[in-house]
Structure 1
Amino acid sequence: MSERETWSTRAGFILAAVGSAVGLGNIWQFPFQAASNGGAAFVVVYLAAVLCIGFPAMLAEFVVGRSTERNPIDAFRELGGNSWSVVGALGVFAAFWILSFYSVVGGWVIRYILGSAQGAYFADPGGYFGAISSGPGALALHAVFMALVVGVVALGVEDGIEMGTKLMVPAIVVLLLGLGAWVATLDGAAAGYAYYLSPDLNTLADNIGSVLPAAVGQAFFTLSLGMGAMVTYASYLGDDDSLPVDGGLIVGLNTLVGLLAGLVVIPILATQVSVEAIRETSGAGAVFISLAEAFGQLPAGRVLGVVFFGVLLLAALSSAISLLEVVVSFVTRNTGWDRKPAAGVFGLAVFLLGIPTAFSASLTYAGTGALTWYNDLAYNLLLPISVLGVLVFVGWLRDDHATEELTKGTALGRDTAGTWIWAMRTVVIVAVVVTLFLGVQDLLVAAKVLADPVVAV
């Protein structure tokens, strides 16, 4: 068995974890979740979910990872026995599942960088997306994206993951800040800012049943919770690192990037369409079609398109790397495989699982695109169940162990750590259960069409 790797610096861990969290969920999905769920009303619920649910859950995953120095499956097995290893296995499976469709979207991003440089989508943004989002071309770029991810993971923790994210994360923030400053100069952006930053409490009250699971699922997705990524990354930490401080920095930076993305995307849309039209923005292709329309009508649209989709590619890669690392960490620990063949073999397996989503326009599940089905299953079922398992395990079965682990490397006393445990085992668990219930309801509504035949569209 090869010697276990570690982070070379604390900053390397923080940036790697931020890179895991800052991904397509922030820049692809967050602005359009906000756009289609009431704008600022969604943002309010999302911020509450990040602070009250996401942060405590992240600390729970950190505790499990650092205390065992193991991958998710082995970590839960060591602390709770074989029966609890299923919690870690669910996280590994969730990472595997999510990366399979995430990679297809990453392939779209590569295509849009090229399309922006050529102005290829300016004449017909909707038609361009329809032409490139499924079929052999989408499959080929799905393969290219996974090859990039495999290459970084194969290099290892320090030389691959840490070095890559040290470059990617600062670049993402700088480019988003630059785009945000430019957007503020556009005529019509004010309406977008108002929609995004001024909560309508009546809208929130009327739509809480759909906004809550969307916001909590978004928090899990953007913080890489329930995927085993934070357990895996924390397993490379030392006892002198402060988990609360590191977790707070990761949550804060991740949330900042999501909010910045919203400050770029929604005002851009407002310069081209009405707020009412923004509310109708949804679906996997929304970020591509809507922004392509905007870039096609704005000065220097080709340059802006290359920059924006370049940011999106960096974000996609930084998260995808962490998802593959979850699987590779388990395999190298338990099979004796070297990192490079493990990354290659399981990168190929992820690619194969994602093939239906690469043909999503013609392979449908009762009229719903395969990518939408993959995404909804992850958001509404896999991630909430996985996070719930972590919370129950840490909060109720290993609470004393978690309290002791949380105080290492910090000035926190056991009483403060005990408050975190109490909140996690009550308020946070209840919130996740409610979210899971609402998410399952949404899936059951979709399942009403199960009796219909699978059709091509």
Structure 2
Amino acid sequence: MARETWASRIGFILAAVGSAVGLGNIWRFPWMTAENGGSAFLLVYLLIVIGVGVPGLLAAFIIGRRSNRNPVGAFKSLKGSRAWTTLGVLCVVTAVVLLSFYSVVGGWILRYFVESFTGAYFADPGTHFEAISYGADAFVYQLIVLGASALIVTAGVRRGIETTTKLMMPGIVLLLVALAVWAAQQPNAAQGYEFYLGFDGEYLADNFLTVLGSAAGQALFTLSIGGGTMITYASYIDDDRSLPLDASAIAVLNLGIGVLAGLVLFPLLFSFAAGPTAGGPGALFVGMAGAFANLPAGQLLGATFFLVVLLAAITSLISMLEIPVSFLVDEFDLERSTATRGLFVLIALTGALNAFSADVFTLFADHLVDLLLTLGLTGFMFYTAWVLGPDAVEEYRNGAGLLSRPLATPWRYAIGTVFPTFLLFAFYSDASSLAGFSPDTSTIVFVTLATAVPFVLFLRWSARDVPSTSVDTAD
């Protein structure tokens, strides 16, 4: 079966940005920022996106383009032990986990969009969200959003994903800009900006490990790396494209839209809600509902806002769904429509666990996904640096410009040592918090180095005699 490619560079970049922005920047970002000290979290998050996210994106791009396969097929076809295929399987599992709770949030958004026209959530936003967030109604709305995403993925890479994101992303940005201008005029906008942008060094010093783990997970979540999305999307890229340029463009656009979303949300949360932490996972809905209930033309403004968020949710859902779909198409030669229908049924079942249980939803959305994404990207980096090695440098340089080509070798050694070690530190910090432990920083550093150093030495030793990449491209 012939494999599709992107029709244009802008189509790929917008699809990748759509995946990266999605609900990560509009729904999850204010929730994570509010629970981790506001500006303290924002600073660490920005540093991780630029310092770790861009090199990580490049690692995922290189695995995807060099293999022209889904995550499982990529590790199976590229050089190295077949044990690395387990990392590809982890990507598919992560995608299913993401879809299982992400589609629930998509259902919430669809419901709020519909209810904006009647103002059904205006009277008591907090009570309303509690009443509709879980249960049979939440499951029905989840299925509608999941079904719409499945229809887009069934249409294919060019006609479905690329065409849809080309239309959606400019609309999302324009609507966010308009909303940011409006939010700046609200009564407590200054307090929102102070919480969001005024650096709080004391909070960061007192809660560094907690902030670090959450910021690392959020950075990987918003960039869609660590879960296989970017491996899958890069598998449709032509060989003459500059991967460093594409990765930088995606990261910058993602950061810009994320910061813009914060400029909309935090002034409104301080003006019309009980502070930014009100509502937990429902902070976006409770806070924004309170804003629209107190404003002229609140129904129209609410419908406009939730339309923006709904478009963002769908761009992310289709990127996640493409991971297991491409796996079934590539590895089992299934028709795209057949694969998508089967996955719709599977994710409807796993998603029901999240739609009917707040505890399951919080476990999936708050901690489990952060751990899976961090572990996944750590594996991508180690594999790219020490197993692909010189092949990764060659792939990096294909299509790269004069400025980025000399950075290929330093990039390889950085993703083989510094960056994955940092991610392991964040992984152990977050895992300790989830397990209820509070080890000091020196203990986590020791455990991190005790894991990373022997593993790097083993990879260098085991890969020393492995021949250059040979990809089986037979269909």
Please tell me the TM-score bracket, short chain as reference.
over 0.9
User: Given the superposition, is the C-alpha separation of residues 119 and 273 from structure 1 closer, same or farther in structure 2, using an over 3 Å criterion?
Assistant: closer
Shift of 1:17: 0.7
**Offset at 1:346?**
0.7
Deviation at 1:55, TM superposition (A): 1.0
Which of 379, 389, 394 aligns to 1:389? It is: 379
Offset at residue 282 of structure 1 (A) = 5.6
Q: Among 324, 339, 344, which residue is 2:341 paired with? A: 344
Cα displacement (A) at 1:81: 3.7
Letter in 2 for 1:374: F
Q: What is the match of residue 311 of structure 2?
A: 314
Question: What is the alpha-carbon distance in structure 2 between the residues aligned to residue 414 and residue 254 of structure 1?
Answer: 24
What is the Cα deviation at residue 414 of structure 1? 5.5
Q: Which residue of 1 aligns with 2:431?
A: 440
* 1:429 corresponds to which of 398, 415, 420: 420
With normalisation by structure 1, the TM-score equals 0.93
In the alignment, structure 1 residue 283 sits paired with structure 2 residue 293: no
Alignment of 1:59-70 (within 5 A): 59-70=58-69
Cα deviation, residue 411, structure 1: 2.2
Residue of structure 2 in register with 1:33 after alignment: 32
Match of 2:294 in 1: 297
8 A contact 2:103–2:351 mirrored in 1 = yes
Structure 1 SS opposite 2:281: coil
User: Aligned partners of 1:344, 1:377: CA distance in 2, in Å?
Assistant: 29
Q: What is the match of residue 224 of structure 1?
A: 224
Q: Which amino acid aligns with 1:175?
A: L
Letter in 1 for 2:8: T
2:182 corresponds to which letter in structure 1?
W
**Per-residue CA shift, 1:153-200, capped at 9, x if unaligned?**
000000000000001111111110010011112222111112211111
Partner of 1:353: 350
Tell me the secondary structure at the aligned position of residue 4 of structure 1: coil
In the TM superposition, residue 303 of structure 1 has moved relative to its aligned partner by 1.4
SS of the aligned residue for 2:280 comes to: coil
Residue 93 of structure 2 corresponds to 93
Aligned to 2:77: 78
> For each residue in 1:207-265, what CA deviation from the matched residue of structure 2 results, as whole angstroms up to 9, or x when unmatched?
11111111110001011111111000000011110001011111111111111110000
Q: TM-score, normalised by structure 2?
A: 0.89
Measured against aligned partners, the alpha-carbon deviations of 1:263-313 in whole angstroms (never above 9, x if no partner) come to 000011121357xx33x3462111111221121112221111111111111
C-alpha change, 1:359 and 1:273, in structure 2 (3 Å) is closer
Would you say the 8 A contact 1:103–1:146 is kept in 2? yes
Q: How far apart, CA to CA, are the structure 2 residues paired with 1:355 and 1:270?
A: 33
CA distance in 1, matches of 2:283, 2:415: 35
| 1:118 match: secondary structure | coil
SS at match of 1:120: coil
Please list the CA deviations of residues 361-392 of structure 1 after superposition, one character each: whole Å capped at 9, or x if unmatched.
Answer: 4xxxxxxx110011234334211111111111
Counterpart of 1:14, as a letter, is I
Amino acid at match of 1:437: Y
Name structure 1 gaps, 5 residues minimum.
362-368, 447-457
Output the amino acid matched with 1:321.
I
Q: Distance in 1 between matches of 2:190 and 2:282?
A: 25
CA contact (8 A) 1:404 1:414 kept: no
Q: Is the 8 A contact 2:273 2:290 kept in 1?
A: no
- Counterpart CA distance in 1 for 2:119 and 2:363 is 31
Shift of 1:415: 3.9
In structure 1, what is the equivalent of residue 49 of structure 2? 50
Answer yes or no: is 1:411 the counterpart of 2:401.
Answer: yes
Q: Is the 8 A contact 1:217 1:380 kept in 2?
A: yes
Between the two proteins, the alignment pairs up a number of residues equal to 436
Quote the offset at 1:393 in angstroms.
0.5
Identity %: 46
Contact 1:380 1:440 in 2 (8 A): no
How far apart, CA to CA, are the structure 1 residues paired with 2:258 and 2:16? 15
Q: Is the 8 A contact 1:36 1:281 kept in 2?
A: no
Name segments (4+ residues, structure 1) moved above 6 Å.
none
